[in-house]
């Protein structure tokens, strides 16, 4: 992990001279763990300069939680200490770094998974982003978590100026079909893909046909 103005970030660089297109990878509930780092590495292998910021750095820097019940409990506690404006500022710092000297240049995008998908949707509405991929983000339609206050994050959808790709599984318990329908209705003109018979968290380390198709779409879209 490197430090970007005091914020820990994982950086994965592609081979060969740049500039390369850049992408900010926003982590799920468990922090910048092995699955997030492997995802960033996979993007780098596809030719992207990928940076994954630690969105928990203000409360528990370096948090890398196990993907079990205890990890979820700790992750929910950290999520409820996040601040909407601070997260947008963190993403903005990453975009500025990617666009700066030695970075990716002007071609930048976002990839967010679960909690990070919510953060990516929010950042796409608040920042100038060319392309954003949002995977199975929770709590977009309500105000249950700090990231979705004071108004539901979905209500900001009209402010998204770049392209958006929304990917979710049909059997996602965090983003059920009725919520997917509400989200799809709020983002006309953007692409929504629902994978049949697919649960939550199928993407980063997934080996299913849905995961492989999602990776193909992500790389082509970004």
Whether pLDDT at 5 is above 70: yes
What sign does the dihedral 83-89-93-99 (CA atoms) show? positive
CA 7 vs CA 1, 36, 110, 220, 222: distances in Å: 10, 16, 18, 29, 25
Could you tell me the two tokens for 119? 């953060």
Percent residues over pLDDT 70 in the chain: 98
> Catalytic annotation on 27?
no
What letters, b where the CB count within 10 A reaches 16 and e where it falls short, cover 196-207? Answer: eebebbbbbeee
54-98 pLDDT per residue, tens: 999 999 999 999 999 999 999 999 999 999 999 999 999 999 999
Beta strands 2-4 and 7-12 are: antiparallel
Domains of the chain, with CATH numbers? Answer: 2-221 (3.40.50.1820)
pLDDT of residue 48: 96
Could you tell me the two tokens for 209? 């046909």
Exactly one of 159, 200, 205, 213 is catalytic; name it: 200
pLDDT of residue 114: 98
124-182 pLDDT per residue, tens: 999 989 999 999 999 999 999 999 999 999 999 999 999 999 999 999 999 999 999 99
Which pLDDT band, with edges at 50, 70 and 90, does 104 fall under?
low
> Catalytic annotation on 190?
no
pLDDT of residue 203: 97
Exactly one of 33, 54, 90, 172 is catalytic; name it: 172
Cα separation of 61 and 5, whole Å?
Answer: 13
This prediction has a pTM of 0.96
177-218 pLDDT per residue, tens: 999 999 999 999 999 999 999 999 999 999 999 999 999 999
pLDDT of residue 102: 66
Alpha helices in 54-83 (DSSP H): 69-79
Mean pLDDT of the 109-124 span: 98
């Amino acid at each position: 992990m490197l430090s970007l103005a005091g914020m820990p970030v994982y950086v994965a660089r592609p081979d060969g001279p740049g500039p390369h297109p850049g992408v900010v990878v926003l982590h799920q509930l468990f922090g910048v763990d092995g699955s997030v780092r492997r995802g960033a590495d996979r993007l780098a292998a596809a030719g992207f300069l990928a940076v994954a910021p630690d969105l928990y750095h203000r409360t528990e820097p370096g948090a890398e939680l196990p993907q079990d019940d205890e990890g979820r409990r700790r992750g929910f506690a950290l999520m409820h200490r996040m601040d909407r404006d601070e997260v947008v500022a963190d993403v903005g710092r990453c975009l500025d770094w990617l666009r700066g000297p030695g970075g990716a240049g002007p071609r930048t995008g976002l990839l967010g998974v679960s909690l990070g998908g919510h953060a990516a949707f929010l950042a796409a509405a608040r920042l100038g982003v060319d392309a954003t991929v949002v995977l199975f983000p929770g709590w977009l339609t309500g105000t249950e978590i700090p990231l979705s206050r004071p108004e539901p994050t979905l209500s900001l959808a009209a402010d998204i100026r770049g392209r958006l790709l929304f990917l979710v599984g049909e059997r996602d318990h965090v983003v059920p079909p009725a919520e997917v329908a509400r989200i799809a209705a709020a983002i006309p003109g953007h692409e929504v893909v629902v994978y049949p018979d697919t649960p939550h968290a199928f993407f980063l380390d997934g080996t299913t046909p849905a995961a492989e198709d999602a990776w193909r779409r992500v790389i082509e879209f970004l």
